[in-house]
Chains A and B, each alone.
Chain A
Amino acid sequence: MTVDSLADTFKQNESALLEQWIEAQRKAGIRSDLIDDRTMVDNSRDLLKVFIKALSEGGKDVEHASWAPVKSLLERLSQAQSRQGFTPTETATFVFSLKQPLFTLLAQQPDQLLAASQLVDKLGLYGMERFVASREEVIREQQESMLELSTPVVQLWRGVLAVPLIGSLDSNRTQVVMEALLQKIVETESDIAIIDITGVPTVDTMVAQHLLKTITAAKLMGARCIISGIRPQIAATIVHLGVELGDVITKASLSDAFQLALKELNVRLVSPNAR
């Protein structure tokens, strides 16, 4: 049985393997600012131990249940490294540098050498997969929190809401803005909502359509919408594209829109000194 003998060979030379592996890692360069030498040695020892155990129990099939501890350990290490800011190369090197001592050990048995090399490849790839997955998760989390952060709905006056939109509008964001706005309209019983697009870099037909959707939804709930903060270039673009804004009220600045809103609510601001 090649597998058993492979596992046996590893078991007999475990300490030598570990030593050479660590040596290889040191040679490849260790990010001493991110990980200390001792943690690296501990990680290597743990991984080698579960690796040999899995090999002797489950054979070379990494899908076998006995490989689960190896995978979970790799996953944990990859995740930690991805969060700490290791590069993909550094993470991959951790596993792939095991090859060098393996080659030295198995130099006399070429058939087993191939098997062992394939095993290390599979584990290395698995580690990379987890590394990337962890990265993607971080990106997703950040996207979500950006979405939440970038859509505040503020109350300017009793009955007047404002939504300062910053950044480009896509359908996902429109959905979030729409939900937040409508919810706030219900909460504050507002009659007028001002959508300020000063921070929206470009308005194309898609963005205009998203805006109109939001305005229509607000109208169905019984609130009127005013679009404010339209910059000269954007006004030109809207006309150039032939975007139909319908009967939506548009104002150049937020203050103009606010004035109109107060007028519609029959509110008049009077200075106490002016007589």
Chain B
Amino acid sequence: MVDKIPILKMGRYLLLSIQVDMHDQLAMDLQEDLTEQIVRHSAKGVLIDISSLEIVDSFIGRMLSHIASVSRILDAKVIVVGMQPAVAITLVELGLELPGIATALNVEKGMLWLETHVNDDLVAEVESDEHRDTPAETGN
């Protein structure tokens, strides 16, 4: 198989959408590719869209966990979005609860989550004098 899962860079985040059946080689390539891209773009967040995955097995569950751990070491937050109900039930029945991986309903909510959580980290780095009044905006 010459398939490759494209990794899209969007601002400080990386986006990847899994739409084909995963097999060993593809997963290995993806992990390698992703770590490389995180370092190259110094990405702060990774969004994985699995809304087109109909079938999931323990292999994919393990792969997601692995990607999450690697990304965490590289200081990028991982969020998995768009899991189908059937897939969620299967994972639970398999006993794979994906601990430590954030999840969201769709890409939109996933991006929102990344914005809020990654921003939190950045706020600490911002020079404090200029932006004294910005926290007031959070109420809207």
Interface residues, chain A, CB within 8 Å of chain B? 175, 178-179, 182-183, 185-186, 189-191, 213, 216-223
Contact = CB atoms under 8 A, between A and B. Distances in A.
B106 A189 contact: yes
B105 A219 contact: no
24 contacts: A175-B89, A179-B89, A182-B85, A182-B88, A182-B89, A183-B85, A189-B106, A189-B109, A191-B105, A213-B93, A216-B97, A217-B85, A217-B88, A218-B88, A219-B103, A220-B80, A220-B98, A221-B85, A221-B88, A222-B83, A222-B104, A222-B109, A222-B110, A223-B105
Contact of A217 (B80, B92, B105): B92
B88 A213 contact: no
Nearest to B61: A220
Interface residues of B, number: 19
Contacts of B46: none
A67 B98 CA distance: 61
Q: Name which of A178, A183, A189, A221 has the most chain B CB atoms within 10 A of its CB.
A: A221
B91 interface: yes
Given A217-B88, A220-B91, 16 more contacts: A178-B89, A179-B89, A182-B85, A182-B88, A189-B109, A213-B92, A213-B93, A216-B92, A220-B83, A220-B88, A220-B92, A221-B85, A221-B88, A222-B83, A222-B109, A222-B110
B114 interface: no
A219 B91 CA distance: 11
B81 interface: yes
B85 A222 contact: no
Contacts of B88: 182, 217-218, 220-221
A220 B83 CA distance: 7
A223 B109 CA distance: 11
Contacts of A189: 105-106, 109
B83 A221 contact: yes
Contacts, number: 54
Nearest to B109: A222
Q: Name which of A175, A183, A186, A191 has the most chain B CB atoms within 10 A of its CB.
A: A186
Contacts of B84: 186
Interface in B73-90: 80-81, 83-85, 87-89
A220 B105 contact: no
A213 B95 CA distance: 9
Contacts of A220: 80, 83, 87-88, 91-92, 97-98, 103
Contacts of B110: 222
A34 B109 CA distance: 62
Contact of B89 (A185, A217, A222): A217
Contacts of B80: 220
Q: Name which of B91, B92, B93, B104 has the most chain A CB atoms within 10 A of its CB.
A: B92
Q: Which 9 A-B pairs have the closest CB atoms?
A: A182-B85, A222-B104, A222-B103, A222-B105, A217-B88, A220-B88, A217-B92, A216-B97, A221-B88
A221 B92 contact: no
Interface string B42-82: 00000000000000000000000000000000000000110
A176 B48 CA distance: 28
Contacts of A185: 85, 105
A219 B79 CA distance: 12
Q: Name which of A189, A213, A222 has the most chain B CB atoms within 10 A of its CB.
A: A222
Nearest to B138: A266
A185 B92 CA distance: 17
